[in-house]
Every structure is written in structure tokens, then in C-alpha cells.
Structure 1
Amino acid sequence: MAVSGLTWVLTTLFVVGMLLFDFIFHARKPHTPGLKESAAWSALYVTIALSFGLFVLWHWGPNFATQYYAGYVTELSLSVDNLFVFLIIMASFKVPRESQQEVLLFGIVVSLIFRSALIFVGAAAINAFAWVFYIFGLILLITAGSTLKEALSGDDDEEESGENFFIRAVRRVFHTSDQYEGNKLFTQLDGRRAMTPMLLVMIAIGGTDVLFALDSIPAIFGLTQEVYLVFTAVVFSLMGLKQLFFLIDGLLDRLIYLSYGLSAILAFIAVKLVLHALHENNLPFINAGEPVPVLEITTQMSLVFILGVLAVTVLFSLYSPRGRAMAIIRATEDLAERYLALPADAPLEERTRINRQLGQKLGGMPRIPDHLKSELIENEQHYRDLIHRAHGEHQDFLSRATESR
């Protein structure tokens, strides 16, 4: 695949331009994106990514276009899984909703820089040493096993993902503040310069992105070894991640089987890498240093497998009894918290609308089996108190409104 220097320069300028546009017109102005805004921008980034695949098809042919699409879909699915950890980190640091855009954009920029470096290092290693595919395959197998183990145990390591060892060390060494001050990274506390939680959460997000890259890059090299395709697939999968975060924030909790699907995808790509390594083998202790005649998995087969696994995983998550139960429980929690967060001067219409939605969702609770309720509701007493407080506040508001007439 021949890629000119001009193509590389124009592609890089386009990526930098999109990042600057995103920062100037969105992240720089703290606000909470609505569903309509998030959906529009997510659709735009997906359209750009898919259109680029058509450009690859036109310029380099269907084989390279298929490699690009397989890489893009894989990287995007891994990015969605990463959003779970982002949610945990955001919750751990109690990041204000209106400031989350800037935190995510910072994480995306760090990830782009680090992953770009890994792409070129990985490409150089592959060109020099064919046995690197064995290492990539082993990394993905370990990652797949770890992902499956966490999914089976239900252990998300929430505490470690947020206030991890590194962040705790930073807090001990440096002077830090516990209060957010908009998007400021530093503030004055007790007459001394102190780090705000905004800087700490950016460090946590950036460090987590670095760890994600260690399984993300081997995964896409298992689908294509064309550096330009690897770079663009990674870039386009990350560019729309910020908008996707707000678009599917409420949906993430419902994708309860996503980890199983991603584990299967990573294991599949690991097998593909090992088969390719055997086909290109030059290690003297394997088949006397000669290539091993094995069946290789084509990119077309990979794309079909990845899309099929993702479709089954998402549909099963959304429509299984456990998925529907999770949807009802999370929706009632969200609506109750939204009602309790209303300002004192919130209009009656808004209060009535949220209370009505809460009542409708609660109407589905009797259909949830008791064993699922006890399994999915982390703290049943807290859940009951939350719903009771929301109903109580609404009744109190109606009583005050009636008395004032």
C-alpha cells in the first residue's frame, strides 16, 4: 500500500484541525451536552470514519478498505468498553457533569499521542521481526482471559480504577485541593499553590488510556499491518469517543454482556495473529525455522466475526431478562436522582413529568424476579430510600403548591 508524504501530512492536519475545533467550540465552554447534540456529533464522526473507508476503497481497493473497516470496528468496540472505566473514574473523582467534556478530550489527546508512538514502534518491530506476532497474540490472549475473568466475577475494580496507587502517591507528594474550580488545574489553598481534582482526574484518565493502548494496538495489527490504516482506524475510533460517552452514558449499564463479546473478539484476533506468525515463521525451534502450512483467517472473515459477535452481545444485553431488569433499575435510580437534583424553583410541569416517568418505570419492578433484584441492586436500603425521598419531595411540593393558592 503506497501512501505519499502529502497524504500523511493532509491526514495529520485534518486530525489536528478536528481536535482544535472540538476544543474551541465544545470543551472550552463547560456544559452538559444534550442527547440531540451528542447524537448529531456522534453521527458526524461516524460518517467521517465510514466515508474515509470509501476513500480507501476508491484509492487502494476493496482489500485495504475491508482491513480499515475491520480495524475501525474493533477499535471502536474496545473504546466503548473503555468508557465503562471512564465512568468509574469520573464517579470516583465526582467530576461535575459540565466539566467532563474537557477531561475526556484531554484523555483522547494523550491516547492519540501514545498510540501513534506505539503504532510506529509496532510497525518497525513487525518489519524487523516476524516473531513479534507471537508476542502480540500472547498479549491479546492474556487480555481476553482477564476480561472474561472480570466479567464472570463481576469485579470492576472500581476503587483501583479511580483512586489508584499513582493518584494516591501524587496526593501524598503534592499539595492538592478537594474542590473543583471550573476547569482550573491549579488553585490557591492555605496560601499555597495546589492541584485541583480536575488535574488529578486528567492524570487518571491519561494513565488509563496508556494501559488501554497495550491491548488496542496489538488487536488492530492482527487485522492489518498497513501503518496508515492502523493510524487512521485508531484516530477515527477515538475522535468521536467524547460525544459517544454522553450519547450512551445511560446505555452503558445495560450492555452487561459486552465484556464477554470483547473477550471473544480479542481471543479470535489472538488466534489469527498466531496463525499468521506460524505462516511467516522464522524461529529456529519451530518447524526448523520454516513457515508452517496453516489456514490463515482472512480480513473478510474477521470483519464478519467481529460484527456478528458485537450484534449478538448488544442484542442479548438489551433483551435478556437480566438486561431488561438492569434497564428498569438504572432508569428508576437516574430519574429519582434527577428529581432530587431539581432546583427549588423548578416548574411544576418538569417535576410532574419526571415523577410520572419514575412511576412508569417503577411499574415494571414487579416483573423483575427477586433474585435479579438482589443481584443488580447494590444497596437495597439506599435504593428504597432514594425512591422514597423522590416521591416524598414531590408530595411535599404539591402540598405547598396547593396551600399557596
Structure 2
Amino acid sequence: MAQVKLHNINKIYDNGFHAVHDVCLDIKDGEFMVLVGPSGCAKSTTLRMVAGLESISAGDLTIGDKLCNDVPPKDRGIAMVFQNYALYPHMTARENLSFGLETANKPKEEIEKRVAEAAELLEITELLDRKPGQMSGGQCQRVALGRAMVRKPEVFLFDEPLSNLDAKLRVSMRMRISRLHQQLKDSGRPATMIYVTHDQIEAMTMGDRVCILNKGAVMQVDTPMNVYHRPKNKFVAEFIGSPSMNMMDARLIRHGDELMVETLGQRFRLPAQIQEKVAVYEGRDVSMGVRPEHITIVASGNADSFRVKVDAVEEMGSESFVYFDADGRQLICKLVSPEQTLDKVVEQSIQFRMDKCQLFDNETGENISLI
């Protein structure tokens, strides 16, 4: 079993800087867990504590059923793939792949078999006699991944392994790593994978679950779709998604028998189920968030629509981003397969999909509209 459990993990450096705050994370056997967050949120520090490359100041780390706080890295059953490949430049790809097995005194026949299997799976057989200086960045990263594979670890750790690659290679390597995870699972020897990235696309497309960190603390752990559609708090709502969620100052007011949200000089009716959920916030200031794809351009005069000024349009081919000025607040609208060109349009009528809007407590940042 290769479940990894972090229980109230903390990291405090000698100068008193508290980098990681009471991180609790239960990673299941064979799960692909992605740690994502902005630069400086301590995601790599957390991963390095799992690897044993950073000491744990407080809390417990277990891998399988074994407490690993003070276990040396080589005895944790893990293999790590680094951002900068960390290949020996004077060795061929074959020698890099086999080096760890040789130092572990594995039989020669077994070493050759493992190297051949990894090379075939990663399509690097023709590269085995080349040195790192004779290979591209993507090829070097595949060799680094193969070096981890041949050890047959229970836990793979990835520290931003694709950040040095160009966009096309990142897509290719994302697919390879995801396919490797599935193939190991299908073969009956699933491996737990913990993957650190700042790239939202990697997080959303690769992870079984995503752990979002901010300032060394866990903001939310959930499936990619849930962190996007059901963000636990304002930070997650604004961090996940590109372009970011539109966030507006708002106030909940009573109008007759209905609870409405007032923002941008307009009043918007809330769906009945959300009205019940946020009724205790009546008369209070809140924040309202709406995703760019949940703003629609409509005909003038439609119910609940309002006029805005078009500031700019970014044509992306299959989609367009339209920037509006609404009562002095910039809004971003995402149009998929747009049929009309808005470059020279001065004003438009837009409408919010209120069933998709999110409301947040201004003090705690908590999403108060989750049902």
C-alpha cells in the first residue's frame, strides 16, 4: 500500500519563518494528487518534506503504514522527478537509467530488463546511447521520468517537471505522465503520484484530485471540476480559471418577498435555493463572483440585462475575450466560437447567469452560496 498521509505538517525555518501551516492531506493508494498554488505558497516545500529533503518541524508523515518523519529518503519507497532533470551529464541515458539500480546491487539481467521496459514505454529506446547534452529538453525529461520508473517506487514525486519545456512539449509530456499512471494501475501495480505545479491546465487535466495551497495553508482539496464549479472560498474562485472569475462588491437586499443582490448599480434576483442559503446575510456587504463564460451578450431590453461599454476584444480564434466597463468596474466575458466581431462595437447589453454566480463572505472569504 502506498497511501501518503500528512497530518498537521508544519515547516518553520531557523530564522522563524513559518512556511507550512498545519497541512492535512490524505492521498489514497494509487491516486494522482496535484499540489497547485501561486509562487511562494510552499507547494515545493511540502513535496520536499514528503521526499525527506526537508525536515518536518511538527506533524506526522506516513507512507503506507510507516511513520516517515525521520526515515532517510532512500528508504521511503519514493522516486522524484525534478524541474531541471538532474541527469548526470557525463553518462548516457542508459547509464542514467541504470545507475540507481546498480548502486542498489540489482542483478544485471534485471537492470537491463527494467531499463528496456521503461525506454519502450517512454519511447526513448533510440536515445539510450546519447548523453544529456545531445538531447532536447523533452527527451531529457523523459529520461528523468524513466530513471524514476525503473526503481518501481510506490510513490512518484514530481516537482514542476514540465516548466522548462515549450507549450507543445508540455502537452505531450502531460499525456505521457497521465498515461503512465493509468498503465501502472491497469497492470495491477498502481503507483501514488504527487505532482507540484503552478500551471492550472496541468492541475485540472492531470489530477484525480487537486490540493490548492496559499501561503503554506490548504485552501481546498477536491476534484478538478469541483474546485472550478464549487470553490470553497474567494481565493480558490479567483485563482482557478483563466481568465479569472469576475469579482464584484455587492450587497444583499430585500425587495418585496425576494432577496436580491445589488452590484454595479443594478439589482439581480437570486435563485430561490440560494436565497434560502444566504438569507442570514440580508443587509450585509458580500462579494459576488461570475465566471467569464457565464456572462452572455443579449439583445437590448432583455430581462435582467444592462448596458456596458466595450473596452477591448481579444480574438483567440475559437474563442474571444471581451473586456467591458460596467459602472467603472472591468468585467471579462468569454465567447466560445463567436459569430460576430465586436472590435468596433461601443456598447453591448449583457446578462449574468445568476444560477452560476457565487457569493462570498467579505470577512472570511467563505463561499456562502454553496448548496
Which structure shows the higher strand fraction? Answer: 2
- Under a length normalisation based on structure 1, what TM-score does the superposition of the two structures give? 0.25
Higher relative contact order (Cα pairs below 8 Å, separated by 6+ residues): 1
- Under a length normalisation based on structure 2, what TM-score does the superposition of the two structures give? 0.26
